[in-house]
Amino acid sequence: MNLVKTKTIKTCLVLSMSACSTAAFAFSGSDSRSGAMGGTGVASASYLTAGFYNPALVENNKHGDFFGFILPSFSASAHDPDDLYNKIDDFQDVYDRIGNENVSEAEWTAALKSLDDGNISIDAKAGISVAIPNPVISANLFTKAQISMLAQTDISDEDLDINLDDREPELTSTVEGLAGGTVELGIALAHSFDIPFVSDQSISIGVSPKLQRMMAIKYKESASGFDENEFDIGSDYTDKSVFNLDLGFAYRPIDSLTIGLSGRDLITYKLETNDQKTPGMGGRATYVVEPKYTLGVSYDYAIFTVAADIDLNKRKYFKESNYETQFTKIGAEIDVFDWAQVRAGYSISMTDYADNVITAGIGLKPFGSFGIDLAGQYGQNSNYGASLQFVFTL
C-alpha cells in the first residue's frame, strides 16, 4: 500500500504532466497527425513520419514534395484510473496539519487508505525528421525520444496508528516508480518496385538502421524519509547504447489502397535499473526493448483518407511488471485544398492494462510550405493526451 506523501512526488507529477501538456499509457501516435487518427500510421504515414511507423512509406509522397522536415513533434499523455493525482493533494493537506491542527483518526485513516494501491502512468515523446523523397531511394533521417513511467503507492497498516500529535510522524508507507525510455537516431531508406507482369501494382521495401540509447530508473522510498531536497532522479538512472533495426513493407494493389507491415526494434535488449539503496527495499527492475509488429491498411481517395492498424503482439515495458499494451486503431482524415485537415480516430485496447481512447485533431497549412498539427485524445478514468508539431515542406 504505497504512499505519495511529499511535495516532491506532487512536483514530479506536475512536471511530468504539465511539461508534456500530458493515455492508455502512451499517446496514440508518435506524431500529431497519427495521434489525431487513432494512432494509425503503418499504411497511412507520409514520407515525413515513415521513420516512426514503417520505413517502407518514406516514398509515400502524394503531394510531390522534394524536401520536408518536422521540427519538432511533441506528445504526452497520462492515465490516472485511481485519481491518484488529486488524492495525493488531499492527503498532503491532511499530513501537513498533523501536530498543528486537530486531525481526527477517521480523517487520517480515510486520507491514507485512499492512496492504497493507487496507480498512475505517464508517457512522453518527442521527434524530429528530415526527409528527401525521390524515385531512386527515398531517405528520412529521424530522431525520437520516448519515456514511460509507472508509479504505484503502497500504504502500510502501521501508519494507520501513528501519533497524530507528532508534527513529523515516521511513516513506513512507500512510493515506488519505474521509468524507462529510449532516445534513437536512425535513417529510413525505401524503394518502390512495380510488380512484374501485373499492371498498376507495386511494393515498397524499407529499412531503418538506428542507434538507441536506453535509460531506466527505479525509485522506492519510505514516505517519512523522502526528502525533496535529496531527490535527484538524474543521478540514479542506468543507460547503455545499442544498435537496432526496423523493417517495413507496403503493398499497393491499386493506387488508392495501401497494405503495410512493419517490424520495429527487431533486436531485443534489456537494461536493469539502479539497485535500491533503501534498507529492506532492494531489488532491480528490467526495462525491455523488444520487437513490435503491426499490420495496417489505408484507403486514400481524393480528399478522404481512412486507415486501420492492429498490433500483432503485445508490448511489455518492464520484465517484472505485468503491464503490457496492444491496440487496434482506426482513423480518418479530410483534406481541404491542402490548406486544412480535419482528423479523428479511435484506439481500442486489447489488454486489461489500458483503456480505449477517442482522438481528434487538425492540421493547418495556409501558406503552402509551413504548417502546424494539433491532436488530443480522451478516455475514461482520467485518460488524457495532447500533441503538437511543426511541419515544413518544399
**Per-residue confidence (pLDDT) for residue 199, from 0 to 100:** 81
pLDDT of 266 strictly over 50: yes
CB atoms within 10 A of CB 245: 16
Secondary structure of 182-248 in the HEC alphabet? EEEEEEEEEEEEECCCCCCCEEEEEEEEEEEEEEEEEEEEECCCCCCCCCCHHHCCEEEEEEEEEEE
Please give the share of the chain, as a percent, with pLDDT higher than 70: 88
**What is the pLDDT confidence band of residue 116, given thresholds at 50, 70 and 90?**
confident
> What is the mean predicted confidence (pLDDT) over 289-302?
96
Closest CA to 27 of 356, 387, 342, 323: 387
Secondary structure of 66-103 in the HEC alphabet? CCEEEEEEEEEEEECCCCHHHHHHHHHHHHHHECCECC
User: Is the N-terminal amide bond of 72 cis, ω within 30° of 0?
Assistant: yes
Instruction: Name the H helices within the chain.
Output: 7-18, 32-36, 50-53, 84-97, 105-113
Closest CA to 108 of 124, 117, 96: 96
pLDDT of 52 strictly over 90: yes
CB 118 within 8 A of CB 36: no
> What is the mean predicted confidence (pLDDT) over 114-136?
88
Look at residue 36 and give its three-state secondary structure. helix
For the chain, what is the mean pLDDT?
84
At 8-35, the pLDDT tens digits run 333 333 333 333 323 345 677 889 999 9
> What is the mean predicted confidence (pLDDT) over 169-178?
78
Backbone angles phi, psi at 32, to 5 degrees: -70, -40
> What is the mean predicted confidence (pLDDT) over 349-353?
90
What would you measure as the largest C-alpha separation in the chain, in angstroms?
86
CB 309 within 8 A of CB 295: yes
pLDDT of 304 strictly over 80: yes
**Per-residue confidence (pLDDT) for residue 221, from 0 to 100:** 66
Q: Which residue has the higher pLDDT, 358 or 352?
A: 358
> What is the mean predicted confidence (pLDDT) over 362-385?
91
CATH class (in words) of the domain with range 7-393? mainly beta
Q: What is the DSSP letter of 2?
A: B
What is the length of the chain?
394
At 208-258, the pLDDT tens digits run 999 999 999 887 765 544 444 344 455 678 999 999 999 999 999 999 999
In sequence order, what are the beta bridge partners of 371?
391
Q: Which residue has the higher pLDDT, 352 or 284?
A: 352
pLDDT of 276 strictly over 70: no
**What is the pLDDT confidence band of residue 162, given thresholds at 50, 70 and 90?**
confident
